[in-house]
Amino acid sequence: MASRSALAVSTFLCLAALAALSAHAADPEEIRDFAPPADYAPPNASYFTFTELRNIDVKQGQFANVTNVNVLRFPVLSGLGVANALLVYPPGSVNVPHTHPRGTETLFVLEGTLEVGLIDTTLPVPVLFTQTLYKNDIFVFPRGLVHFQINKSKYVVRAYASFSSTNPGLVSLPRTLFGVHIDPEVLTKSFEVSSDIIAKLSAVQPYELDSVRGYSFDAKKDEELKDLLNSSKLSDLMFYFAILAEVEDCKRYKA
């Protein structure tokens, strides 16, 4: 009986230790009300106020305008475990598929109508959830899951994002996969497509195009690529690009 009790106590202590390690893996809990930087003057009301979002210009283009409100720009957030961002979506713009490896995102629509998508990886086969959001709607993107937003309307959309981490991180899938010169053989074998298709995707850097609201291809010259981008065979990351294939011609694919 004594040995069983000792085993139970030992098991409990192990579980408690694991729980403590798990808690430590998140943003550390602040033991003070707030923690101003050492070289910062004694705080007043201005220390808790951020005013840089008052006059945000809308930059027209194919991608959302993102203004981060993090600890680098707003020191009061230090140690508080949160970050924020203002997103402005010009007509037809997209916030490309991406993840936040260290934080959950809560998106609040301030103005307009916004299409959002989230990839659930709970099941063996990824599942896409999409939703149309209207003014004052809220959508949650759990930490680490691939998600995106697209403004299909003719009007500017504004949204505000809050994160459960001081530094949630950002992994842009198009730029990460096709903008860092990964060995083409790795990509062709991973996606089971020809090297020509990988070369085309690598040639189109999402943040360098002038007039593309997603990914669209000339049906006559790139039928194979168009079919692949709309094919359910494109599991995982290639499938995310299919989500965006509903827009005007991409300059790089014009004759």
- Show binding-site residues for Mn(2+): 98, 100, 105, 147
The residue length of the chain stands at: 255
Whose structure tokens read 């014009």? 254
Binding residues: 95, 98, 100, 105, 147
**Which two tokens mark 87?**
């997103």
Binding residues for oxalate: 95, 100, 105
Backbone angles phi, psi at 201, to 5 degrees: -65, -40
Q: Report in angstroms the alpha-carbon separations of 63 from 36, 59, 151, 167.
A: 35, 9, 10, 22
Which residues does 50 contact at the CB level (< 8 Å), separation at least 6? 69, 73, 74
In whole angstroms, give the CA distance from residue 23 to residue 51: 33
**Which two tokens mark 76?**
């009061």
Which residues does 41 contact at the CB level (< 8 Å), separation at least 6? none
